[in-house]
Chain A
């Protein structure tokens, strides 16, 4: 649960949570939206908060922006305690899930809003707004109203508006959730490029594990208000710490202790990625099972096999022979792929 120890000469991290809790409702029976979270986010990183809805990831984001106050614990931004600092004085900006563009203002005025409230004169802020609009490839859209834009364009305006103040940390709350698949993939690449170019810390909240794995440098997996695991995408994917992480990140086979033993491991919970499994002829292999279902995935088929009193999934790449439902198959895998987990929950 504790984050990696910072290297000796490391500058103060962009965001630091020290046993932060945020409870809602009566003190006698609180809803623990965030429950004792410790977290360190390095400057310049692209950090993902991943988890199912209600896991506390959005509340954590709102704790950084200041829309929620911690019930306990402290939050530091670049080493400074922000417990008493209201949102408007925190040098972090947010891209809201619903974009929250001001409908009565033009796109230009929306983008320039942060400068307007700072008292920057009209000409300067209009010029800056145009720069930001061209950064998000919306040159020439300044005079339109948000209602005249498509979802993807609104998303870019929200991004430009959040970046105009040159925040040190940019928070993104499910930024791509409302976009269709193609647009979402394009925006993922663009956000990644933008972050590399601007060099500021991006923290984004998502429930889409694919998005988190492909975009983030490091990520925290949330479950029930706590962090289940922190690490790089590769670490979290390959070596899930708990059953929850194994199940939520990717779609791993989570094996109970007795099955793990049958698969040649110790008597502990373990995970085995579907793509690590190979289905072979049933003869001469230690493990075999019966094919129960197929699911076509385009790039391959996910085949469910009943074995050892449980069901496991294997990924059969397209072009390889697909065993029929009801057929008996052998199960083979590289023993190193069987990852034994330390945690239960």
Chain B
């Protein structure tokens, strides 16, 4: 029974009710208040500094005085195409591509398992296992890898103990990517990059695979597809947005990194290292800026091609 005296409209209980009423009458107001700070941050601080960077890259440096000439010129960009600079760009690109591919190949089974089979506690174990390495310091991990890969490190030791030194030496003698030891070879740089960026590939991949309903795989098998046909025509295309998202991380993180190539590998320069040195010791801000624009352009090209190829059709 409802008492007859119950009012149709309840009394306002204070500020919270008043604000709720205001936001109810003007639904966009709250959205605006919530979005303004990040938009201001993104607009001013991030896009602003990006614009400043872009601007710098169109300046040039006076070769004698070392002073930045604030005149628009494409001279600095032309410098990127000098053999030694082009080498840096190509080397970085190849490494980024190799790391991305390596991450994708290693990440896929892990992500697939986590998305399809891991339930409850195992899912928690998966997330913990993937995220745990992210909790420790990046430098600690890189130096740990340097020790692991060193000539006196555990890999050489284990290869000796297992009488597999021949295999290790054979791998190290591959021209171009081999070297004196794993920690001074391209293989070493590659391995450390793959390890460090792997979580950034696994997580988006797993999220994409999780959205593929089981019935879709069953439908494919039901219609006569073998496992590999199902993978090629259903699983892979549907996971592609996740793979692309992951590869954006691994690709751009590798392109921008300037610490790993310094610690592990042949100490040949990468884009990140070039930018670091040019803006620091060399004081060539315009060329540093031009170098910094390269990864941005490459990523834009990459995304355009991916979109053309229909990578985002399943989104």
Contact = CB atoms under 8 A, between A and B. Distances in A.
Interface of A: 65-67, 86-89, 92-94, 96-98, 100-104, 113-114, 116-118, 161-162, 164-165
Given A100-B213, A100-B216, A117-B229, A87 B221 contact: yes
B234 interface: yes
B216 A67 contact: no
B65 interface: no
A104 B221 contact: no
Interface in B287-305: none
Given A114-B223, A114-B224, 8 more contacts: A88-B226, A96-B218, A98-B215, A100-B215, A102-B216, A102-B233, A104-B310, A162-B223
B218 A87 contact: yes
B234 A93 contact: no
A117 B213 contact: no
A161 B215 contact: no
Contacts of B238: 102-104
Given A103-B314, A104-B237, A113 B223 contact: yes
A161 B313 contact: no
Contacts of A89: 224
B222 A93 contact: yes
Contacts of A165: 223-224
B277 interface: no
B86 interface: no
Given A103-B314, A104-B237, A117 B226 contact: yes
Q: Is the interface of B mostly helix, strand, loop or mixed?
A: helix
Interface string B219-246: 1111111100100011001100000000
A327 B28 CA distance: 59
Contacts of B234: 102
Nearest to B232: A117
A26 to B, nearest CB: 15
Contacts of B224: 88-89, 114, 117-118, 165
Contacts of A162: 222-223
Interface of B: 213, 215-216, 218-226, 229, 233-234, 237-238, 310, 313-314
B213 A98 contact: yes
Contacts of A102: 216, 219-220, 233-234, 238
A88 B229 CA distance: 11
A89 B225 CA distance: 9
21 contacts: A66-B221, A67-B221, A86-B221, A88-B225, A92-B222, A93-B223, A94-B222, A96-B218, A96-B219, A98-B215, A100-B213, A102-B238, A103-B314, A104-B237, A104-B310, A117-B223, A117-B225, A117-B229, A161-B219, A162-B223, A165-B224
Q: Is the interface of A mostly helix, strand, loop or mixed?
A: loop
B218 A88 contact: no
Contacts of B310: 104
Nearest to B312: A104
Nearest to B229: A117
Contact of A117 (B215, B233, B314): B233
B72 to A, nearest CB: 45
A114 B221 CA distance: 9
B222 A87 contact: yes
Given A87-B218, A100-B216, A104-B313, A161 B223 contact: yes
Nearest to A65: B222
Contacts of A86: 221
Given A88-B226, A104-B313, A113 B218 contact: no
Nearest to B222: A94
Contacts of B313: 104
Contacts of A97: 215
A100 B314 contact: no
B254 to A, nearest CB: 29
B229 A104 contact: no
Contacts of A87: 218, 221-222
A162 B215 CA distance: 14
A98 B216 CA distance: 9
Best-buried of A86, A96, A117, A162 by chain B (most CB within 10 Å): A117
Best-buried of B213, B215, B216, B224 by chain A (most CB within 10 Å): B224
Contact of A100 (B219, B225, B226, B237): B219
A98 B214 CA distance: 11
A114 B222 CA distance: 9
A94 B214 CA distance: 14
User: Which 4 pairs across A and B sit closest by C-beta, in order of nearness?
Assistant: A114-B223, A100-B219, A100-B215, A117-B225
A66 B237 CA distance: 25
A103 B234 CA distance: 9
Contacts of A96: 215, 218-219
A96 B215 CA distance: 7
A93 B218 CA distance: 10
B116 to A, nearest CB: 14
B185 to A, nearest CB: 40
A10 to B, nearest CB: 28
A162 B221 CA distance: 12
Contacts of A164: 223
A113 B218 CA distance: 13
